[in-house]
Amino acid sequence: MKPIIIANWKMNPLTSRGAFVLAKKVAKGAKGYNATVVLCPPYVFIPQLPASKNVQIGAQNCSWEQKGALTGEVSPFQLKSLGCTFVILGHSERKKYLAETLGMVQAKAEAALQAGLKVILCVENVRELQMIAKNMKSFKNILVVFEPSSAISTQGGKRITPGNISTMAQAMKKVVGKNVPILYGGSVDAKSITSIMKVGKVHGVLIGAASLDAKEFLNIIKEVN
Is 65 annotated in the active site?
no
Query: Can you list the positions of beta strands (E) in the chain?
Result: 4-8, 36-40, 55-59, 86-89, 118-123, 142-146, 182-185, 204-207
Cα separation, 123 vs 184, in Å, equals 10
Residue 203 is a catalytic residue: no
Q: Which of 93, 128, 147, 223 is catalytic?
A: 147
Is the CB of 23 or the CB of 115 nearer to ligand PGA?
23
Task: Give min distance, CB of 151 to ligand PGA, in A.
Answer: 6
Judged by beta carbon, residue 115 or residue 129, the one nearer ligand PGA is: 129
CB 70 within 8 Å of CB 107: no
Cβ neighbours, 10 Å, residue 204: 28
Query: Residues in the site for ligand PGA, rule: CB under 6 A?
Result: 8, 147, 152-154, 185-188, 206-210
**Quick one: 100 or 147, whose CB is closer to ligand PGA?**
147
The least CB distance from residue 65 to ligand PGA, in Å, is: 26
Nearest-approach distance from CB 97 to ligand PGA, in angstroms: 12
**CA distance linking residue 132 with residue 136, whole number of Å:** 7
Distance CA 170, CA 203 (A): 12
**Which residues form the catalytic set?**
91, 147
